[in-house]
Structure 1
């Protein structure tokens, strides 16, 4: 409670003592005011202390932050969507032996801040001298139209970067980034595909796949969870180089428009080599052809081994023979009607160059001599429904499940209806179109004992499982028939001493866009298996419009074009894959005699 200013007891005492009672009130009022001033001073001092502490903490935090910023590495602002992080790192791609096929290289981009440029016109002129594809007048307009940011070049070489440095204008800036590098140039270009830039900033750029495995496995290559682990392909760089070299030489010598080759391990499904010609350099990927009249194969970007869907000719005949044997309809020695020409309704089935292998041929001879009529009679025994089911089991009704972005679009061309005449023509590879990759997978099923496995471009460890499409006995008999094609039949130029090549030729007339077939244009294929006694690899070689002019008359059949190219590939790559040649005793004796002669000399 507040003390009264005129306490009654003191007033009465003052009156008795003769003092003035008003002085008591004044004294008490003075004391009260002094107490109030002390209390107010205490509150003010406390408030000043809190305010000083706040200022000290605030300035301390600001000073600490400024110190950290001054000690940090300066960062350029990113030109990208708010909150969008640019993932620049991309895993390497290697072959099966760890050799680099695709990797990353640090480079720089060039951009400008026109508002801080000293001499925009002079800079534009000097940049046009360094980069001839840039227009000085256009650059000057961009530098002077009020923009605050201008991209000039997305990738610079070290030499170009130095020349820009020498211009010395503060408005020219560099941003570090990674770009994709293919150190082997054109080698395996159709497998790798290529990349481009996605989201871009001045500090980094997102590298994304545009074709091939770069596009098909883009998520895997960009996945941070992989920790930069390389993607290992099934390709062998040395073998790929050899295949492309021989294939290019063969295409050039035989005046072919294009060529493709596939080398596949029949037990694992691994693609050891995949080549398509003409090719390109993925470091400088060309633009697609936009001419409406151009064929897809006219572009070097077109992958003939996977995207090329062709009538593969007589290479299909072994499927009819194998299915008929599997169904128990024939044996290799069974005799079938081969009397040519064969009439079926209004259609006439003829042999090459009007030959007649009849009246009868064994099933094995039908394959060795490549008889259309004999194959047609075998197909009629099988029937349309069973033929379709077998070809479907061999993968000819769906795109190949390969790790290429182009593979899903390479769907075989299948007749909408399947009457008996289609059964006949399909049995010798006409009327139905598929890719060389389809053919490689189907021949691998014959070579490995009857198991259909999925082809892959990724390295596998050991054999893989698959669906059995024929018995081991049937597959073995089919390989023996294919061996006779090389030793006695249409692929005699395919013999490679010591490697027991087996295979089947296919010469298919090239179809016209308007309908019908060309008389002087063919697609030639040789599907081979080696070594025949223990099949390990399948090699498919396809040539587009080849013409052998080495002889007295031009020759267009596969036996004169695709077969010798395949034989040279096998001769070159078989030792590289560790296959030891199997020499007959006379050959061994001759080799020993040559060695003794060489030693004596």
Structure 2
């Protein structure tokens, strides 16, 4: 078939004449190639930027909520270990559930299926998230392997899993108030977990420098074995004495290290929300209490250290009036008492006289020097500030002498006792390992060695013949001082609600450790006549020492039982 005739002749390029040629600019072939390459690079760059922005916009939630386009990678944390290398906290891998709502085909069906596996999810909120059209939303953090498998088998488009790190505490409640806890993003929120974040871990995590391989384990001063014993005996005491709460601490008198500390009720750091319950307060460092007659330890040491009182001095113990108040005995001996007897019989009147001799200013200064009245400095973030009268008067000094009028933390009380047992040196407490040489650089002399020796004698006397007899442990010579304080209820002292304590040291001839046990609102044990500290706090301290002394490397020493003939076969 012939081609159709064109209505006009095909265009032909006219040849340039010789005269026109000089005015035409001729470029080399290489110049065209350079321009082509530049154009291609610009084209690709523009489209790369556009593509990147599209990806970012697609991942950003349309509702402006708190979800980020790409989930933040949870940073690694160092393991926490006890002084013997036993793991207290470590990271494990876990799966978290997320959704890409723009890929969800049927939000209602997806909501129904997911709540069937995860009934704790709020169906209405879940449906709102799945129908939002956003690029990424978290649905549930830290799934169990079973939950992950069940959701995987549902086969819902737009639903996926992200591997994250979860903090795991193999000991559960054992040392919860010391170790602390982390939040869902693996950031420390309490205890030593928060401390190591505040020391720079959070900064290196934010810089992306906290890889697991680069992080050395953080060793704590506690002994997990002794910590278990402490918590076990306190839990038994709460049941035995039907108490509201209980607590205890063991301190090394040479280094200030905390070997064990527990406060019950406690919580499982694997479930950190439990830490928010009021009853789970760390009473040892974050609670303040009137410590009762344990304060007579400081009153007696103050009087002896002042030089105005000798250990051989004798005081009248008859009731007397001061500024409209009566100072009287709880159990009067109806006779004058020497300084050792004032301590052994826990004389309120005798202690008040000792404080009066020193004076109000001297009394306040001494307790400040021991750290009893100031906020304690240690690694734990949970530390309460002691309370004291705004203006100290004579009556305040006299009642504080026997434990009424100043509220401090039990841990501070134990730290003050360390100074009375170790030759007179106040050492800041620590939850990290510390050598004696390191402690020597930190310690401050707060009482003389003579006074420390005399206080050890008084602790031994009370342990052998006084209220501390129920804390004695064969072979370990436990000395100490009981304290039974009436709790303040609605601004008045309650006669039937007590806060009991036993402040002990062992072996008392050459002290290595100070032990403090507190029992909050104990009831009278069946077969006993009262609920004083000698009936509950002291025997609990003795039980802890009996089980832990060997682990603390204290060798028992037994008295010779006459002349016996040993025969070996």
Counterpart position of 2:547 = 572
Counterpart position of 1:302 = 281
Decide which of 502, 507, 522 is 1:531's aligned counterpart: 507
| Counterparts of residues 36-47 of structure 1 (less than 5 Å) | 36=22, 43=27, 45-47=29-31
Deviations 1:446-492 (A, max 9, x none): 11110111111111122413111111111011111011111011111
SS at match of 2:436: coil
Counterpart position of 2:296 = 317
SS at match of 1:126: helix
Distance 1:533 1:114, change over 3 A: same
Structure 1 runs not aligned, ≥5 long: 1-28, 70-75, 198-205, 290-297
Counterpart position of 2:404 = 430
Q: Which shifted more, 497-506 or 142-151? A: 142-151
- Asked if structure 1 preserves the Cα contact closer than 8 Å seen for 2:60 and 2:134, the reply is no
Counterpart position of 1:475 = 452
Distance 1:589 1:533 in 2: 26
Deviations 1:507-529 (A, max 9, x none): 011111x2211111100000001
Alignment of 1:350 onto 2:328? yes
| Counterparts of residues 393-432 of structure 1 (less than 5 Å) | 393-407=369-383, 410-432=384-406
Counterpart position of 1:511 = 488
Structure 1 residue 535: deviation in Å? 0.7
Distance 2:534 2:111 in 1: 62
Distance 2:153 2:78 in 1: 35
SS at match of 2:172: coil
Distance 2:413 2:98 in 1: 51
Alignment of 1:379 onto 2:355? yes
Distance 1:316 1:54, change over 3 A: closer
Distance 1:528 1:56 in 2: 83
Structure 1 residue 45: deviation in Å? 3.7
Structure 1 residue 299: deviation in Å? 2.3
Distance 2:528 2:219 in 1: 48
Distance 1:176 1:587, change over 3 A: farther
- Asked if structure 1 preserves the Cα contact closer than 8 Å seen for 2:92 and 2:168, the reply is yes
Alignment of 1:97 onto 2:73? no
Q: Which shifted more, 119-128 or 472-481? A: 119-128
Alignment of 1:334 onto 2:310? no
SS at match of 1:282: coil
Distance 1:195 1:288, change over 3 A: closer
Counterpart position of 1:391 = 367
SS at match of 1:43: coil
- Asked if structure 2 preserves the Cα contact closer than 8 Å seen for 1:119 and 1:169, the reply is no
TM-score by length of 1: 0.82
Counterpart position of 2:560 = 585
Structure 1 residue 276: deviation in Å? 0.2
| Counterparts of residues 8-19 of structure 1 (less than 5 Å) | none
- Asked if structure 2 preserves the Cα contact closer than 8 Å seen for 1:341 and 1:356, the reply is no
- Asked if structure 1 preserves the Cα contact closer than 8 Å seen for 2:525 and 2:531, the reply is no
Counterpart position of 1:222 = 202
Distance 1:329 1:56 in 2: 96
Distance 1:288 1:46 in 2: 74
- Asked if structure 2 preserves the Cα contact closer than 8 Å seen for 1:280 and 1:300, the reply is no
- Asked if structure 1 preserves the Cα contact closer than 8 Å seen for 2:291 and 2:500, the reply is yes
Distance 1:48 1:285 in 2: 68
| Counterparts of residues 162-201 of structure 1 (less than 5 Å) | 162-197=149-184
Distance 1:56 1:382, change over 3 A: closer
Counterpart position of 2:12 = none
Alignment of 1:451 onto 2:435? no
Alignment of 1:254 onto 2:241? yes
Distance 1:301 1:217, change over 3 A: farther
Structure 1 residue 249: deviation in Å? 0.4
Structure 1 residue 53: deviation in Å? 5.4
SS at match of 1:107: strand
| Counterparts of residues 125-136 of structure 1 (less than 5 Å) | 125-136=112-123
Structure 1 residue 108: deviation in Å? 2.1
Structure 1 residue 178: deviation in Å? 1.5
Distance 1:49 1:131, change over 3 A: closer
Distance 1:488 1:100, change over 3 A: same
Pairs aligned (count): 530
Distance 1:441 1:147, change over 3 A: same
Distance 2:70 2:425 in 1: 51
Distance 1:92 1:332, change over 3 A: same
Distance 2:427 2:187 in 1: 30
Counterpart position of 1:19 = none
Distance 1:588 1:540 in 2: 37
Deviations 1:78-114 (A, max 9, x none): 9877999866122222111222111112222211112
SS at match of 2:551: helix
Deviations 1:520-569 (A, max 9, x none): 1100000001111111100000000112322154x110001100000000
CA RMSD of aligned residues (A): 3.0
